[in-house]
Structure 1
Amino acid sequence: MGKIVVVENLTLDGVMQSPGTEDDTRGGFTRGGWATPYADPALAETMGKGVAADNGMLFGRRTYEIMERSWGGRTDDNPFTAVLERKQKYVVSRSLDKPSWVNSTPVSDLAELSRIEEDLVVLGSGELVRSLAVAGLVDQYVLVLHPLTLGQGMTLFGDLEVTLTLEETVVTGKGVIIAFYRRRSAA
């Protein structure tokens, strides 16, 4: 099995729900799109390096569907469009049998991940990330910490105990801290 890297946008109070869109209103969440005002060239450059890397992508069903609606089948000149179209995408879901986005493969459970040899990057997909953390399958977390609190919304770790070792940080001009952590243990 390849390495699994989780990339998450978070507020300072740990909220990860709907950072770029208003698509996820579960639990009455009304503050979607909170990360958008913090975009800047330093953030785009750092995240772009990760997206351009030679790896597959791993999604939970909800995030996959949001990403497919936003990026699937686009023909614009955004550099991420071509990268996302050509990458192999895996979707962990018990209800999505035939994903429609090009280069997408369904994965019915975490045990199937052991057969995937390439490195995988997980974007969003909070429920999946928590399951991966409990199973001890996350090798690295890239936490994109935005300088705001929301006071509501789903958090990344919830009641999980995860111990991390900081490897590197990048601070953007808008105060976003991109922290690269290696997992030490999970409980």
Structure 2
Amino acid sequence: MRKIIGGVFQSLDGVIQAPGGPEEDPTGSFKYGGWSTSFWDERMNAAMGAVFDQPFDLLLGRRTYDIFAAHWGYLGDSDPIAASFTKCAKYVLTHGDQSLDWKNSHRVSSMEELKKIKSAEGPDLLIQGSSTLYPALFAESLIDRLFVMTFPVVLGKGKRLFGEGTPGGRLKMVQSDISSTGVIIATYEPDGKVPIGDFGLSKPSPAELQRREKIKKGQW
């Protein structure tokens, strides 16, 4: 069975929109396109190389597919990343019927269809961008691993990795590093339900009991 691996560039406040350039995705009046580009160092290059050195196919949302096809699809085989992206299968999870003209592109219309692709033989499926995919993929327990680079910037608004509809869950860190520019490079895997504990007093104080009553009455 294949694994689905999310490859993520995110800000400290979880925004993943348009890390690569001002024109990449300005929707929603996003004004910080290209926010990741000044942080790169050799440690980050090595970490990314380890991800792309393994056989992979791409799993993309429609808008990220459009971005990739318009960029990587025109660089030619002289660029090693463009060559690998063109050669691999590109599965586009979309309900639309727009044409997918980039070589080796395939439309995926539902989660059930994606589950069949995941259960078949083949290389792992690597997500790039595609913020709209994550809530549904987590809800269906289809994410096997997250490779996350967290950059030391706060963007305030924009599309986020854990968008609306993402279910709660625990993750375990299986690998980590930090770049010379302060980028946290970490790999996570799902690890069951959110653990619930309590740092409160063994016996609530009278003030705490009053506070809880105010919460119940909508007065807090």
**Partners of 1:127 and 1:84 in 2: how far apart?**
21
Letter of the aligned partner of 1:166 in structure 2? M
**Partners of 1:99 and 1:185 in 2: how far apart?**
36
**If the length of structure 1 is used for normalisation, what is the TM-score?**
0.93
**Partners of 1:64 and 1:186 in 2: how far apart?**
32
Counterpart of 2:155 in structure 1 is 150
**Partners of 1:123 and 1:96 in 2: how far apart?**
21
Deviations 1:146-167 (A, max 9, x none): 0111112122113532320000
Determine helix, strand or coil for the equivalent of 1:31: coil
Counterpart of 2:93 in structure 1 is 92
Letter of the aligned partner of 1:129 in structure 2? Y
**Partners of 2:141 and 2:53 in 1: how far apart?**
26
Distance change (3 Å), C-alpha of 1:84 and 1:6:
same
Determine helix, strand or coil for the equivalent of 1:58: strand
CA offset at residue 168 of structure 1? Answer: 0.4
CA offset at residue 43 of structure 1? Answer: 1.1
Unaligned runs of 5+ in 2: 195-220
The structure with higher relative contact order (CA 8 Å, sep 6+) is: 1
Counterpart of 1:4 in structure 2 is 4
Distance change (3 Å), C-alpha of 1:186 and 1:108:
farther
Matches within 5 A, 1:1-187: 1-22=1-22, 23-75=24-76, 77-116=78-117, 117=120, 118=122, 119-159=124-164, 160=166, 161-185=168-192
Deviations 1:4-59 (A, max 9, x none): 10111000111111111232222221111101111222212211221221121100
Letter of the aligned partner of 2:9 in structure 1? N
**Partners of 1:67 and 1:186 in 2: how far apart?**
34
CA offset at residue 94 of structure 1? Answer: 1.2
Instruction: Give % identity.
Output: 35
Letter of the aligned partner of 1:11 in structure 2? S
**If the length of structure 2 is used for normalisation, what is the TM-score?**
0.79
Deviations 1:96-134 (A, max 9, x none): 453111111111111111222232010110001221112
Determine helix, strand or coil for the equivalent of 2:132: helix
Unaligned runs of 5+ in 1: none
Task: Say whether the 8 Å CA contact 2:148–2:185 is kept in structure 1.
Answer: yes
* Structure showing the higher strand proportion among its residues: 1
Letter of the aligned partner of 1:105 in structure 2? H
CA RMSD of aligned residues (A): 1.7
**Partners of 1:76 and 1:174 in 2: how far apart?**
31
Paired positions, count? 187
**Partners of 1:52 and 1:100 in 2: how far apart?**
25
Distance change (3 Å), C-alpha of 1:186 and 1:134:
farther
**Partners of 1:79 and 1:108 in 2: how far apart?**
30
Task: Say whether the 8 Å CA contact 2:58–2:89 is kept in structure 1.
Answer: yes
Give every structure 1 segment of 4 or more consecutive aligned residues whose post-TM-superposition deviation is greater than 6 Å.
Answer: none
Distance change (3 Å), C-alpha of 1:33 and 1:44:
same
Letter of the aligned partner of 2:132 in structure 1? E
